[in-house]
């Protein structure tokens, strides 16, 4: 049975995973791969294209196909807590030093279809949209895109449509309206970036780097959603981490309720 491009890609992928090809190493030339796998040119070319799409290799002019260097991941620990400092609220301590790298882009628009249900809004409903690029204040390197969506009946009544919403944080403004205390919930997923998102985050244009997506909903005591925040960052640079605690159903027979360092 002739070897397929998927078979070739799988073998090369495994060699990269096992460190037989390290970042910066050059893969064999296409003619060498043809001979190695007994495959035609197009089959080998398709295998390399697949690895390029996965972000494992990159074609470098006059050098060939190079194993791509990828950044060491930063773990964002979601401790299921909301924090506060002199600037405002934040939801993971890794992001505390980050600031808005430019003034927020604020406009009225339509809620994305995949978010309308989470907000309890009809498809096509009007919302206030606040887009921010957050990043390192010293290097000015972008780290995440944060977009807030606010229902029109709430956002028109306060200063959230202005660039400067006043001292402190938009959550303060919402609680001042009577939505106190706010409660938050969130979900984590991934998707490929749009060209605009890839450019804003300085993602490589020649490989497919997915976005890590955290969608957080803020609701008042009655369950009314007053804001939805859609945060996107490079899934190649960041990962979500959290601690795991032993549930009562998994407690040891001699467990007194205190943490057990041996388990």
Residue 155's domain is classified under what CATH number? 3.40.1410.10
104 and 186: one domain? yes
Question: DSSP assignment of 92-112, as one string?
Answer: SGGGTT-EESSPPEEEEEEPP
Sign of CA dihedral 45, 212, 77, 187: negative
49 and 168: one domain? no
148 and 180: one domain? yes
116 and 221: one domain? yes
Integer Cα distance of 180 and 219 in angstroms: 9
95 and 139: one domain? yes
120 and 176: one domain? yes
Integer Cα distance of 100 and 131 in angstroms: 10
Give every CB contact of residue 81 below 8 A, 6+ residues apart in sequence.
none
Residue 39, judged by CB atoms within 10 A of its CB (0-12, 13-18, 19+), counts as buried
Domain boundary among 18, 44, 67: 67
pLDDT given for residue 78 in this prediction: 66
Residue 41's domain is classified under what CATH number? 1.10.10.10
pLDDT given for residue 8 in this prediction: 94
60 and 81: one domain? no
Instruction: At 117, list the tokens.
Output: 């249900």
Q: Is residue 252 part of a domain?
A: no
**Number of separate domains in the chain:** 2
- Whole-angstrom Cα Rg for the chain: 24
pLDDT given for residue 163 in this prediction: 56
44 and 113: one domain? no
119 lies in which domain range? 74-241
80 and 59: one domain? no
**Residue spans of the chain under pLDDT 50:** 166-167, 260-263
78 and 63: one domain? no
pLDDT given for residue 108 in this prediction: 92
215 and 122: one domain? yes
Q: Is residue 248 part of a domain?
A: no
pLDDT given for residue 5 in this prediction: 94
176 and 216: one domain? yes
Alpha helices by DSSP H, 60-163: 113-119, 152-155
pLDDT given for residue 261 in this prediction: 47
Tokens 């749009």 label which residue?
A: 194
Integer Cα distance of 64 and 29 in angstroms: 7
pLDDT given for residue 255 in this prediction: 63
The dihedrals phi and psi of 174, each to the nearest 5 degrees, come to: -65, -40
Integer Cα distance of 57 and 69 in angstroms: 8
């Amino acid at each position: 049975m002739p070897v397929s491009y998927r078979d070739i890609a799988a073998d090369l992928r495994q060699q990269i995973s096992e460190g037989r090809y390290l970042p910066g190493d050059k893969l064999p030339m296409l003619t060498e791969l043809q001979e190695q796998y007994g495959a035609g040119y197009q089959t080998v070319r398709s295998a390399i294209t697949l690895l390029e799409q996965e972000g494992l290799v990159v074609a470098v002019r006059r050098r060939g196909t190079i194993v791509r260097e990828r950044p060491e991941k930063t773990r964002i620990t979601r401790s299921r807590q909301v924090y506060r400092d002199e600037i405002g609220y934040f939801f993971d301590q890794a992001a505390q030093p980050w600031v808005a790298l430019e003034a927020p882009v604020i406009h009225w628009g339509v809620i994305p279809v995949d978010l309308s249900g989470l907000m309890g809004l009809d498809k096509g409903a009007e919302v206030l949209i606040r887009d921010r690029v957050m990043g390192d204040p010293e290097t000015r390197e972008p780290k995440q895109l944060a977009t807030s969506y606010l229902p029109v009946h709430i956002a028109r009544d306060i200063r959230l449509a202005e660039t400067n919403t006043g001292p402190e944080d938009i959550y303060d403004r919402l609680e001042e309206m009577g939505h106190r205390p706010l409660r938050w919930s969130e979900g984590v997923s991934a998707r490929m970036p749009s060209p605009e998102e890839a450019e804003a985050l300085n993602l490589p244009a020649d490989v497919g780097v997915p976005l890590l997506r955290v969608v957080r909903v803020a609701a008042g005591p009655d369950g009314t959603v007053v804001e939805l925040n859609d945060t996107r960052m490079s899934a190649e640079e960041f990962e979500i981490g959290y601690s795991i605690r032993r549930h009562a159903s998994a407690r040891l027979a001699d467990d007194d309720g205190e943490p057990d360092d041996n388990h």
